[in-house]
């Protein structure tokens, strides 16, 4: 059984929520006319309203507007436990809830009441995070083990690589696509809901000759996940969408929520659109916010068609969805917006908007053409020096790049000219080997059928190598009770003493049998860490710096009610960087 904490039961449809008393102050006083229109659309008594699409131009106060709409719903009687708020990242969700709390505090004039109302948004999160919670809640009804664990992208690629090797595809006469490429093809095919042939033709034409082998690989990969009770990121959407294809389940899940609000809708994919259409078929209570001109994630199978087609897809009866456009920009100057409007105006299909601002400036943006990356790096370094000579500090200058590897030439040029700089971004926290070691132990204890976590952890025991680890995992996979097989395993003589200690720790880390029982969390983390620290010292010369990461990880554990929630949410939205940076 899982140690997941049961979700709080929302009030039934029609059951009144306590109506907070408002102060005379207007909570919408800081909004402009268009923002106010978006916030108040259809809200009178907190009941579900018709579908609303907010086209929010860059810098137009999108987050502030959406937060005010959530707060306005609560102030007018909507049950905050029946509001589903879907954001692009968990950080965005936290920020949105913080702003909702601020609006309520100003309106109510009582910090306690405001905090209580804002904190009662239990269904705020990302599509993947909310999907994980719903899948665990409905696991027995959709054929899932409720003790499933979630692979991050790196672990998913590793499992794909293992299956690829087992099928003999890593030793073909002609080079078969790497595990990362295979994972990219698999993910894009699922999220775009396209055929494998179409995905290969459109995005991976150099892999088209391997279509039959890729079909076989993806089938085996799916079977491996099923047998090991693990899901990857894509499963969280795919299985949620599959669940919503069942009429009874779709109606049941949809009935949980009176209001559904979605941020960054231009960056959603077909699976996410399908989920929303099944969740709120007529669009009642549905609000989406986005900007068709800022759709940048097509390489992840996001489609701008979702936002372009929203007014007709979610027509309420004979009436199309309401569209409100936020076109006042608070971030840029008018010359920049004029350039932006000119570029946006070239789109063949778009929502009409003309960004404007009251911030005037005589300085116009520059478009510089260069021959190659080296010349681009030289030009950037030269401009930085020119600006410094003109009195602009280096700390007031920034270079933006799309992905980390695009910065290499600039970094080298800055170093060559002795221009000091700080680079933000790099190795993600969960990609660090020592962090993966400790989390893998917790994952394997939670889900003993996870071969990837087990293979990694078993080899941390001195004397256990790849062959012994495989023998152990094979025995656990074949046994009705994996824990019994692990305790009965005969390790190599060199591992005997350390193996006994590990078995004791592993058995103590087993999740509680009663559903909703958090067990000894977060003491489990401390026990796992105590076992791992001697291995950390043996494996890494810089173990002192790496231990700081584990200490920081431990500080996070108290913020989660159970090990399952900790592992799930940390995987879906990890910290950015390790202390080694």
Residues 128 and 101 in one domain: yes
pLDDT in tens, 215-236: 999 999 999 999 999 999 999 9
Same domain, 270 and 378: no
**Does 522 sit behind a cis peptide bond, omega within 30 degrees of 0 on the bond before it?**
yes
Q: What is the DSSP string of 166-217?
A: HTTGGG-SSPPPPHHHHHHHHHHHHHHT--HHHHHHHH-GGGGGGHHHHHHH
Question: Residue 578 corresponds to which tokens in the numbers above?
Answer: 């390790």
SS3 417: coil
Q: Are residues 174 and 84 in the same domain?
A: no
Helix 451-458 with 466-478: angle, nearest 10 deg: 140
Whether residue 461 has pLDDT greater than 90: yes
Hey, what are 118's tokens?
């804002």
C-beta of residue 470 within 8 angstroms of C-beta of residue 508: no
Is 577 a residue whose pLDDT tops 50? no
In a domain, 578, yes or no: no
Residue 26 lies in a domain: no
| pLDDT > 90 in the chain, percent | 67
Q: Tell me whether residue 351 is in a domain.
A: no
| Same domain (yes/no): 544, 467 | yes
Q: Do 408 and 441 reside in the same domain of the chain?
A: no
pLDDT value of position 405 = 67
Would 403 be classed as within a structural domain? yes
What is the three-class DSSP state of 92? helix
In a domain, 364, yes or no: no
Nearest-10 crossing angle of helices 196-203, 179-192: 120
What is the number of domains present in the chain?
A: 4
Residue 174 has pLDDT above 80, yes or no: yes
Q: Same domain for 58 and 127?
A: yes
- The reported pLDDT for the residue numbered 3 is 38
Asked whether residue 24 is domain-assigned, the answer is no
- Please indicate, yes or no, if residue 481 is contained in any of the structural domains: yes
φ, ψ (nearest 5 deg) of residue 491: -80, 165
Same domain membership, residue 182 and residue 118 = no
Are 222 and 215 in contact by the 8 Å Cβ rule? The answer is no
Angle at alpha carbon of residue 540, lines to 415 and 548, rounded to 5°: 75
**191 plus 261 within the same structural domain:** no
pLDDT in tens, 467-494: 999 999 999 999 999 999 999 999 999 9
Residues 266 and 315 in one domain: yes
- CATH of residue 103's domain is 3.40.50.300
Distances 82 to 21, 119, 240, 258 between C-alpha atoms, Å: 20, 13, 19, 6
Residues 321 and 219 grouped into a single domain: no
Do both 411 and 443 map to the same domain?
no
Q: Which two tokens stand for residue 417?
A: 């000219």
In this structure, the answer to whether residues 39 and 127 fall within a common structural domain is yes
Model's pTM, two decimal places? 0.81
Distance CA 324, CA 351 (A): 10
- Give the Cα separation of 357 and 338 in Å (integer): 10
User: pLDDT tens-digit profile of 117-153?
Assistant: 544 789 999 999 999 999 999 999 999 998 899 999 9
Closest CA to 326 of 305, 353, 346, 347: 353
Instruction: Provide the domain limits for residue 450.
Output: 429-572
DSSP 448: T
């Amino acid at each position: 059984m899982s140690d997941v904490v049961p979700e709080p039961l929302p009030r039934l449809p029609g059951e009144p929520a306590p109506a907070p008393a408002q102060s005379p102050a207007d909570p919408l006083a800081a909004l402009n006319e268009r923002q106010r229109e978006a916030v108040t659309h259809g809200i009178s008594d907190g009941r579900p309203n018709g579908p609303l699409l907010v086209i929010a131009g860059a810098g137009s106060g999108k987050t502030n507007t959406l937060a005010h709409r959530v707060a306005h719903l609560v102030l007018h009687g909507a049950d905050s436990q029946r509001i589903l708020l879907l954001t692009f990242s968990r950080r965005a969700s936290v920020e949105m809830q913080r702003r909702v709390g601020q609006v309520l505090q100003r309106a109510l004039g009582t910090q306690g009441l405001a905090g209580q109302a804002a904190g009662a948004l239990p269904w705020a999160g990302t599509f993947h995070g909310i999907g994980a919670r719903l899948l665990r809640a409905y696991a027995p009804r959709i054929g899932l083990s409720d003790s499933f664990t979630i692979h991050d992208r790196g672990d998913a690629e590793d499992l794909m690589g293992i299956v690829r090797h087992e099928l003999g595809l890593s030793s073909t006469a002609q080079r078969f696509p790497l595990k990362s490429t295979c994972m990219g093809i698999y993910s894009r095919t699922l999220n775009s809901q396209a055929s494998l042939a179409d995905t290969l033709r459109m995005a991976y034409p150099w892999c088209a000759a391997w279509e039959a082998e890729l079909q076989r690989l993806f089938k085996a990969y799916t079977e491996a996940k099923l047998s090991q009770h693990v899901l990857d990121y894509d499963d969280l959407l795919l299985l949620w969408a599959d669940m919503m294809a069942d009429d009874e389940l779709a109606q049941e899940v949809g009935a949980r929520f009176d209001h559904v609000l979605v941020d960054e809708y231009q960056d959603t994919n077909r699976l996410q659109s399908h989920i929303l259409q099944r969740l709120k078929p007529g669009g009642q209570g549905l609000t989406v916010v986005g900007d068709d001109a800022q759709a940048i994630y097509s390489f992840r199978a996001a489609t701008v068609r979702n936002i372009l087609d929203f007014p007709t897809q979610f027509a309420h009866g004979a009436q199309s969805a309401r569209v409100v456009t936020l076109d006042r920009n608070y971030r840029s100057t008018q010359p920049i917006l004029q350039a932006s409007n000119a570029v946006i105006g070239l789109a063949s299909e778009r929502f009409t908007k003309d960004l404007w601002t009251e911030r005037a400036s005589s300085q116009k943006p520059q478009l510089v053409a260069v021959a190659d990356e080296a010349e681009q790096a030289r030009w950037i370094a030269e401009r930085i020096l020119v600006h410094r000579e003109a009195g602009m500090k280096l700390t007031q200058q920034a270079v933006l790049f799309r992905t980390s590897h695009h910065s290499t030439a600039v970094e080298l040029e800055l170093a060559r000219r002795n221009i000091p700089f700080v680079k933000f971004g790099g190795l993600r926290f969960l990609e660090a080997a020592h962090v993966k070691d400790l989390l893998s132990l917790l994952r394997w204890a939670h889900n003993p059928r996870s071969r990837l976590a087990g293979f990694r952890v078993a080899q941390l025991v001195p004397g256990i190598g790849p062959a012994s680890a495989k023998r152990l995992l094979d025995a656990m996979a074949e046994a009705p009770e994996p824990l019994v097989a692990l305790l009965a395993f005969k390790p190599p003589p060199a591992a005997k003493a350390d193996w006994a200690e590990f078995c004791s720790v592993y058995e103590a880390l087993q999740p509680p049998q009663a559903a909703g029982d958090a067990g000894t969390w977060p003491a489990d983390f401390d026990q796992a860490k105590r076992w791992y620290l001697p291995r950390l010292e043996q494996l890494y010369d810089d173990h002192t710096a790496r231990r700081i990461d584990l200490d920081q990880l431990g500080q996070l554990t108290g913020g989660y009610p159970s090990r399952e929630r900790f592992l799930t949410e940390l995987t879906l939205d990890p910290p950015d960087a390790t202390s080694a940076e």
